Chains A and B, each alone.
Chain A
Amino acid sequence: QQQVKQSPQSLIVQKGGISIINCAYENTAFDYFPWYQQFPGKGPALLIAIRPDVSEKKEGRFTISFNKSAKQFSLHIMDSQPGDSATYFCAASGRGGSTLGRLYFGRGTQLTVWP
């Protein structure tokens, strides 16, 4: 069972455009929602993360929007650049029970930004 559902699987955006990747979850025990960026041949690197006590977090061109009631969160990349071309994974983790300390990953979105 996929605990975190991510869409789209692939995304092509023109330079300067906005990239939007969406994720949804079911487990209400989740309380930490990070996004990872992965370049070919590299391990995932933490991009930005949010906790459910806020609805939005912005770091530079990257913004997470969080909707607790809908159990959805999304990554927005403003002014997308060719250097942003990578695979993006959303994930979730929690503090209790089977969610304690482990990350549940979405399937990933391959983003291509055309110059």
Chain B
Amino acid sequence: SAVISQKPSRDICQRGTSLTIQCQVDSQVTMMFWYRQQPGQSLTLIATANQGSEATYESGFVIDKFPISRPNLTFSTLTVSNMSPEDSSIYLCSVVTGKYYGYTFGSGTRLTVV
């Protein structure tokens, strides 16, 4: 399965600022996903990022708030813009590898907005 390096692992940010999270994969993958996990909650899909096309956002998530880049088949970034305390969550990237939809997750970015 793929190995994902996600950075930063955690950050404490001031409200109104932005944070960019990086996701680096050790192999080329077509589909990359960004999830949010609010404290004590399940994982919610933010968007799907495919190389060469605009990211597809889920209901409740918009590009202005969570812009995503996917410059190549091994890398993606998620930016959390104009942060508020409600954005305090763990953000995770995930990739699909293999014939039978083997999903791998990064270790996550724990974001605290103060």
User: A: which residues have CB within 8 A of B?
Assistant: 32, 34, 36, 41-46, 51, 89, 93, 101-103, 105-108
Residue count of chain B within 8 Å CB distance of chain A:
24
The DSSP consensus for interface residues of chain B is strand
The DSSP consensus for interface residues of chain A is loop
Closest Cβ neighbor of A110 among chain B residues: B40
Closest Cβ neighbor of A44 among chain B residues: B105
Q: Chain A residues with Cβ under 8 A from B94's Cβ?
A: 103
Write the nearest CB–CB distance from A90 to chain B, whole angstroms: 10
Closest Cβ neighbor of A41 among chain B residues: B110
Closest Cβ neighbor of B45 among chain A residues: A102
A101 in contact with B42 (CB, 8 Å): no
Q: Chain B residues with Cβ under 8 A from A32's Cβ?
A: 100-101
Q: Is B104 an interface residue (CB 8 A)?
A: yes
